[in-house]
Amino acid sequence: MKKIQMVDLKGQYEVIKDTVNNSVIEVIESTAFINGPKVHEFQKNLEHYLGVKHVIPCANGTDALQIAMMGLGLKPGDEVITADFTFAATVEVIALLGLTPVLVDVNPETFNIDVQAIKKAITTKTKAIVPVHLFGQCANMDAIMAIANEHNLYVIEDNAQAIGATYTSSDGTKHKAGTIGHVASTSFFPSKNLGCYGDGGAIFTNDDDLAHRLRGIVNHGMYRRYYHDVVGVNSRLDSIQAAILNTKLQYLDQYNKARQNAAIKYNEAFKNEANIITPVANKACQGICSSCDCHVFHQYTLKVKNINRDDLVQFLNDNNIPCGVYYPVPLHKQKAYEDKRYNEDDFKVTNQLIKEVISLPMHTELDDEQINYITSKIITFING
Ligand X SMILES: *Cc1c(COP(=O)(O)O)cnc(C)c1O
| Length, in residues, of the chain | 384
Identify any residues that bridge with 257 across adjacent strands, giving them in sequence order.
none
Closest CA to 156 of 121, 183, 127, 126: 183
Stretches 83-91, 204-212, 307-315, 328-336: which one binds ligand X (CB under 6 A)?
83-91
Element (H, E) at 14: helix 9-30
Separate counts of helices (H) and strands (E) for the chain? 12, 14
Q: Does residue 8 belong to the site contacting ligand X (CB under 6 A)?
A: no
> Judged by CB, which is closer to ligand X: 126, or 241?
241
Per-residue x/- track, 42-81, ligand X (CB under 6 A): ------------------xxx-------------------
DSSP category for residue 4: P
Binding to ligand X, residues 146-205 (CB under 6 A) = 158, 160-161, 187, 189, 199, 201
Instruction: Give the nearer residue to ligand X in terms of CB position, either 181 or 201.
Output: 201
Residue type, 352: Q
Using DSSP bridges, classify how beta strands 201-205 and 222-224 pair: parallel, antiparallel or unpaired.
unpaired
3-state DSSP helix/strand/coil % of the chain, to nearest 5: 40, 15, 40
Min CB(358)–ligand X separation in Å = 17
Say if CB 144 and CB 170 are below 8 A apart: no
Number of residues that bind ligand X (CB under 6 A): 15
In the complex, least distance from residue 68 CB atom to ligand X, rounded to whole angstroms: 11
Does residue 219 belong to the site contacting ligand X (CB under 6 A)?
Answer: no
- Cβ atoms of 232 and 219 closer than 8 Å: yes
Q: How far is the CB of 369 from ligand X (least distance, A)?
A: 29
239 binds ligand X (CB under 6 A): no
Choose, by CB under 6 A, the member of 87, 111, 270, 342 that binds ligand X. Answer: 87
Q: Would you tell me which residues interact with ligand X (CB under 6 A)?
A: 60-62, 86-87, 89-90, 132, 158, 160-161, 187, 189, 199, 201
